[in-house]
Amino acid sequence: MGSVPVASFTITKLSWLHRTEADVWARMARVCLPHDWLTWRLTGRLSTDRGDASGTGYWSPAGSEYRYDLLEIVGDDVDWPSVVPPVLAPDEPAGHWDDGTGAPVVACGTGDNMAAALGVGLGPGQVALSLGTSGTAYVVSDRPTADPTGAVAGFADATGRFLPLVCTLNAAKVTDAIARVLGVDHPRLDRLALDAPPGAGGLTLLPWFDGERTPNRPDATGTLVGLRTDVTRDQLARAAYEGVVCGLLDGLDALDRAGAPVSGARIVLVGGGSRSTAYQRVVADLSGQVVEVHGDEEQVAKGACVQAAAALHGISPTEVAAAWKRPPSAEIEPDPEVDRDAIRAAYGALRDAS
């Protein structure tokens, strides 16, 4: 399969539905994801793509096939091959817009992280950190990845390759919360964090504000340690950014342990938080790698446009992504004076004690 199902995977939701909503289960005709439903409304044809299918928990990226044996564990009273949608190839259009003319071509769509990877033209071995409300760490790989611990989701990408990925529940919403507590806007929070020394004066924040997915701590809350009477607003701001980044770098470590190709010297930042100068600096300093920031603010939307252009012109999404790829708008070098090992060790000690 490539990963251990967690609560957000479709198969676990189906299991819940089967166990708790028998009347709804009995009326179930098809199972699809939101973008599949939209494609169906546009084309009159139900289909999906490799990227989103790989997040269901019952489609195998390694085998490029549905795992009906797993679906039968959920419910053996369903003709599953007639219920789940066909999985389209990356260069296969979903159909035509059913507007009466049959003219506009509709691409197959994909998941948000897969689309972002297309939008920035991420290639094999290139690592991305996505800073949205939640956070992800992923890399494009030429081979599937399996992780029996469940930390790494062995997704497929939108080009025919693979996208092993680690998801954390708490990313930019943590710095949103700290900004609210400090009564500042995001640019001011950035400045506060950058005014504090690396390590935040010994302050360490475990950012599991709303439970956590990686590691699996659904009932966790945030923890702040190292408080002294001389604590400053700058330190609290810095600790928030460092806590979020340490969690994502733990994700990169998990990818490495699972055999994903994460040994490059650069990290591509995507997502809304990538525009934050504090996040850019902290990721570079704590990873020890050059950070690339791209000027396209909506990488996911750009990835969808890549798919649309590929479907329209009958060429591969990889070819379009390469043609549309732009050089980074900024490159941030890590500060060699930062003791990143000490900062990550302090975070790791708090994480392991929680």
Q: Where are the beta strands (DSSP E) in the chain?
A: 48-49, 59-60, 65-66, 87-88, 95-96, 105-106, 127-131, 135-139, 153-156, 162-168, 204-206, 223-225, 266-270, 290-293, 330-332
95-117 tens-digit pLDDT: 998 766 767 899 999 999 999 99
Nearest residue to 240 via CA among 180, 151, 288: 180
Averaged pLDDT for residues 181-208 = 98
200-258 tens-digit pLDDT: 999 999 999 999 999 999 999 999 999 999 999 999 999 999 999 999 999 999 999 99
State the pTM of this model.
Answer: 0.93
Residues marked as catalytic: 112
Q: Does 150 score more than 60 pLDDT?
A: yes
Predicted confidence at residue 264, as pLDDT, reads 80
Instruction: Kindly indicate the confidence band of residue 130, based on its pLDDT and cuts at 50, 70 and 90.
Output: very high
Q: Does 169 score more than 70 pLDDT?
A: yes
291-328 tens-digit pLDDT: 999 987 789 999 999 999 999 999 999 999 999 999 99
| DSSP structure string for 213-249 | TTTTBTT---EEE---TT--HHHHHHHHHHHHHHHHH
44-99 tens-digit pLDDT: 999 999 999 999 999 999 999 999 999 999 999 999 999 999 999 999 999 998 76
Instruction: Report the percent of the chain where pLDDT is more than 90.
Output: 91
Is 110-354 in CATH node 3.30.420.40? yes
Q: Which CATH number fits domain 1-109: 3.40.30.10, 3.40.50.620, 3.30.420.40, 3.20.20.60?
A: 3.30.420.40
Nearest residue to 290 via CA among 114, 116, 166, 127: 127
Instruction: Kindly indicate the confidence band of residue 2, based on its pLDDT and cuts at 50, 70 and 90.
Output: very low
Q: Does 158 score more than 70 pLDDT?
A: yes
Q: Does 4 score more than 60 pLDDT?
A: no
Q: CA 215, 271, 118 angle in degrees (round to 5)?
A: 100
Q: What is the mean pLDDT of the chain?
A: 94
Predicted confidence at residue 100, as pLDDT, reads 65
Predicted confidence at residue 265, as pLDDT, reads 81
* Contact indicator for 204, 231 with CB cutoff of 8 Å: no
212 vs 83, 151, 208, 215, CA distance in Å?
32, 12, 6, 6
Predicted confidence at residue 1, as pLDDT, reads 43
Predicted confidence at residue 197, as pLDDT, reads 97
64: left (phi over 0), alpha (psi -120 to 50) or beta: left
- List 49's β-bridge partners, or say none: 88
Phi and psi at 327, nearest 5°, equal -65, 155
For 220, other C-beta atoms within 10 Å of its C-beta total 18
Nearest residue to 279 via CA among 250, 301, 249: 249
**Portions of the chain given CATH number 3.30.420.40:** 1-109, 110-354
* Contact indicator for 252, 152 with CB cutoff of 8 Å: no
- List 128's β-bridge partners, or say none: 138, 268
Instruction: Kindly indicate the confidence band of residue 172, based on its pLDDT and cuts at 50, 70 and 90.
Output: very high
Q: Does 6 score more than 90 pLDDT?
A: no
For 353, other C-beta atoms within 10 Å of its C-beta total 9
For 114, other C-beta atoms within 10 Å of its C-beta total 31
Helix (H) or strand (E) holding 284: helix 277-287
Sort strands 105-106 and 95-96 into parallel, antiparallel or unpaired: antiparallel
Residue 329 has which token pair? 């708008």
* Contact indicator for 117, 128 with CB cutoff of 8 Å: yes
Sort strands 330-332 and 290-293 into parallel, antiparallel or unpaired: antiparallel
Predicted confidence at residue 263, as pLDDT, reads 82
Burial (CB count <10 Å: 0-12, 13-18, 19+), residue 99: exposed
Phi and psi at 294, nearest 5°, equal -110, 145
